[in-house]
A and B are shown apart, each in its own frame.
Chain A
Amino acid sequence: MGSPPVAQVQNLSVLRDGLLAVDGVSFSLAPETDTALVGPNGAGKSTLVAALLGLLPRSGGSVRILGQELGPAGELPRSVRSQIAYLPQTLALQGRFPLSVNEFVGFGFDLPGLNLAWLAGGSRGRRQAIQQALQRTGCADLGDRLLSELSGGQLKRVLLAFCVVRPRRLLVLDEAQAGLDVPSTEQFHQLLLELRRQEGWTVLQVSHDLEMVRRSCDQVLCLNRRLRCSGSPDHALSPDRLLELYGPNVVPYRHQHNHAGAQRP
């Protein structure tokens, strides 16, 4: 018998602005796997992710994360909640935002609830965890920079440091690579892959990058309000399935050369 799934979604439906944005979706996330959620704009991907995390109320169905049922208002025991990480597309950093990278990553280390863990940089263990997280994500030299001074690629790496600063089991990304150029996207995915293997994360990521999904994901969920199909990338992203999901304007494209081989000296 295999390990129990990290997340299990049964017949999930979500109403948004009076419309059924997600309709009767069921799937599960096996431990230490990478699942992509794909579909056209307005398909309900972000809504599904928000409902899975308990950020939006469900109109039907159930969600279990790490064996715990998500409450009607998104309640989860603190011990479970602290094992979930989430990466949004962007942060509200208009203008100069007086928050250093060290401080931000430190808030990723602190547990929810009222506390003064941040005072004077926190305990020695907290400061060490911040340094290690920044080193592992290639941000060791960014600790004193303001979040609002970072480039898009640096900000994404700092967000990963925010997640990795404390052990987690489930990482949910909502188009986290949006706004990055091609090299930064590639670097971000390499780093995510590395951290996922080291940390044993189970990943659910909303993505429009079908080539990346084909290369690095174990499971693909094709959503357009309802789950249109799911399975391995080869199965779910076949030309027929893509035609059904996106219409005739999406042309499947496969990389012909091997990235890993090309990088070797």
Chain B
Amino acid sequence: MTDLTAIRSVLAEPFMQRALLGGLLTGALGGLLGSFAVLRQLSFFSDALGHSALLGISLGILLGVNPTLVLIPFAVVFALLVNQLVARSGLPADALLNIVYSTSLAFAVVALSLVETYRGGIQQLLFGDILGISWSDLTVIAVLLLGALIYLALSLRAQVLLTLNTDLAEAFGVGASRHWLAFIVLLAVVVAVSIKAVGVLLISAFVVIPACGGRLVSRHFPLYALISACLGGGCALLGLLGSGLTNLPSGPCVVIVQFAGFLLALLVSQMTPRPPATAVPAGRHSPGGDRGALESR
């Protein structure tokens, strides 16, 4: 009874209502985009984007411009530059992304040290402040989720084929480069928009954990994307509720619940009998092959 009263009182707070809705939408968006990013081996890319966002925020503060306004264009430009760098350098994507994200972090910390006081606080940048989410933030996230859902549903054939093999996709009429770039831009915007709620350090968890959970229990692609989105949104909702009830930090609570969801998916997948997987190496021309994980022709 006491628990129900506590939940009611938490739900009665307007800032908590906005936070729960924001968590639901951000989690669903991360899960949806993550379902494609994970298969394309872009998990580390979202991590690098998250760290670069910190640099974008720092530059905004240094230049005296609202960091939120700087963040989206900065993330998009940064994502496109990194995509080109990986495609042209000939270095393995994971090594290059490691260089990029650690360097971004270093520059961001140096830039922040030049600012005497930052009102937002470094803690909020690193772990997010979902309780401070506004109605306008929610509108942007909702529009983004709807746009991503429509684009990915309409281009599902193209998205799946180019994930399997870019040459196969192009030979069958898919504008692989166009769709690849569109996805990279979409991922960058989603990361930039979600940073405020989720924080720099936890953003990749929002993209990777629900998608990996969904991957373990799905045998159909649309269902996989849907389960990943639901897992992302549902875990975020539960995590925030738990955070509100226990006064623990919100972002970490969400990630812990996401991890519990992943463990549950792992358990379900282990209990479901299925034929043994046959190892098939990545294609020479596939995104996961030696052309580099981010390259598009």
Interface residues of A (CB under 8 A from B): 46, 50, 53-56, 74, 78, 81-82, 84-86, 88-100, 103-104, 107-108, 110-119, 144-152, 154-155, 172, 174, 179
Contacts and interface: CB of A to CB of B under 8 A. Distances in A.
Contacts of A119: 222
Interface residues of B, number: 46
B219 A144 contact: yes
A107 B157 contact: yes
Given A90-B286, A98-B219, A147-B164, 17 more contacts: A55-B297, A85-B171, A88-B168, A90-B281, A91-B164, A91-B286, A92-B288, A96-B215, A99-B160, A99-B164, A103-B160, A103-B220, A107-B161, A111-B173, A119-B222, A146-B277, A149-B278
A82 B156 CA distance: 17
Contacts of B170: 53-55, 74
A97 B278 CA distance: 11
B171 A84 contact: yes
Interface in B269-288: 274-278, 280-288
B280 A152 contact: yes
Contacts of A54: 170
A145 B214 CA distance: 17
A152 B278 contact: yes
B224 interface: yes
Contacts of A117: 157
5 smallest CB-CB distances across A and B, nearest first, come from: A112-B173, A86-B171, A92-B286, A98-B224, A114-B154
Interface of B: 39, 41, 153-158, 160-161, 163-165, 167-168, 170-174, 214-216, 218-224, 274-278, 280-289, 297
A55 B167 contact: yes
B285 A88 contact: yes
8 contacts: A53-B171, A85-B171, A90-B165, A91-B280, A99-B220, A100-B219, A103-B221, A110-B157
Contact of A98 (B153, B220, B285, B287): B220
Q: Is the interface of A mostly helix, strand, loop or mixed?
A: loop
Nearest to B164: A91
Contact of B289 (A78, A92, A148, A151): A92
A257 B281 CA distance: 35
Contacts of B154: 114-116
Given A98-B218, A100-B219, A86 B167 contact: yes
B219 A90 contact: no
Given A98-B219, A112-B172, A92 B167 contact: no
A90 B282 contact: yes
B237 to A, nearest CB: 24
B157 A92 contact: no
A110 B23 CA distance: 36
A148 B286 CA distance: 15
Contacts of B160: 99, 103-104, 107
Nearest to A145: B275
B52 to A, nearest CB: 26
